[in-house]
Amino acid sequence: PEFKPAAMRRRLVASRDLLGAFRRSLQAEAGMQETRRLNLFSAVNDALRLALRADTSAVVFGEDVAFGGVFRCTTGLLEEFGDSRVFNTPLSEQGIAGFAIGYAAMGKTAIAEMQFADYIFPAFDQLVNEAAKYRYRSGGQFHCGGLTVRAPCGAVGHGALYHSQSPEAYFAHTPGLKIVMPRSPRRAKGLLLRAIRDPDPVIFLEPKALYRTAVEDVPTTDYELPLGEAEVLRPGTDVTLVGYGAQVKVLLEAAEVAEQKWGISCEAIDLQSILPWDREAVCRSVSKTGRLVISHEAPVTGGFAGEVAATVQSECFLSLEAPIQRVCGLDTPFPLAFEKHYLPNVAKVIDGIRAAVEF
């Protein structure tokens, strides 16, 4: 028979489409979702794109976001949505926050980016005295719940004192705000979409060390994950480990070593949301294990680990078998040359685990 390239291409396309439909039907029957392999910054980008498509009032803005941002989280958004919805701002974090609050107060969706979490402090007054109190001070008549502030946070290996901080505890003292810090691409996408659509202003902290190192299969669909719910990543019976963000990976590695070398069974929990935080999940775990180790990169004094420890001591006092351990950053400015000594690494977490178990 005569070879007809066009007909052959049509048959190949039809076969490919049929195979794709068959695969999707099998995934649906098995309760599976179609996924893509993404790192964390790509998952954030995917969430932003879906949010902009679904809500025509949504805008993304901040320093250098129009060309993709320092960490490439907004790559391609300007080209798809135009400069009226994705645009650069002056180098003024207070101005970024003020504009975001005003835009959200008009019933719109504001997605602001602080280039680094360290730079969020000039916007502190706007966020804690305006955004957080807007609904309360108006007796519920007005609000800026459409506000989300994204900020890359935490250690990155060379950021030193102005590009490495984790400011979550400063904002956790503020009723009216929600604070989220994801550990992985899948969680980042679902939590960010929920944060953007949440009825309260949300500060969404993204561990910059995970932007390219955290990679996993992420659903291609538009999905949301609830705020305020922790996730038990590893069941255990001897000690509870609690953390969030990039520190979760450290806790899981420490738990593996503790079990292999000393037979210590660790239950690892990712808080995911810092405000509100899932005290029920943590207390339920500690009531079972009798021991608790809390870890985060931010300095130990005034860190969020203190709030978790105080709550557990109050609600699980009769279940505790040992003093609560806090394994956190040091009470110094974030160092450059001595970053590895500052961070709460696997060895420090293991010391905390053994201190709790051997008490």
Catalytic residues: 93, 163
3-state secondary structure of 325: strand
Name the packing angle between helices 40-54 and 185-197 (round to 10°): 30
* DSSP-assigned letter for residue 333: P
Contact criterion met (CB below 8 Å) for 161 and 335: yes
Name the packing angle between helices 247-262 and 346-357 (round to 10°): 50
Q: Which alpha helices (DSSP H) does the chain contain, by range?
A: 5-29, 40-54, 77-81, 93-105, 124-125, 134-137, 168-172, 185-197, 210-213, 247-262, 279-289, 304-315, 339-342, 346-357
DSSP secondary structure letters along 212-241: HH-EEEEESS-----TT--EEEE--SSEEE
Tokens (6 digits) for 56: 């025509």
Angle at 249 between CA 246 and CA 252, to 5 degrees: 150
Distance (Å, whole) CA 291 – CA 286: 6
Contact criterion met (CB below 8 Å) for 45 and 75: yes
Beta bridge partners of 325: 293
Number of DSSP helices (H) and strands (E) in the chain, helices first:
14, 14
Tokens (6 digits) for 86: 């994705």
Q: Which alpha helices (DSSP H) does 236-329 contain, by range?
A: 247-262, 279-289, 304-315
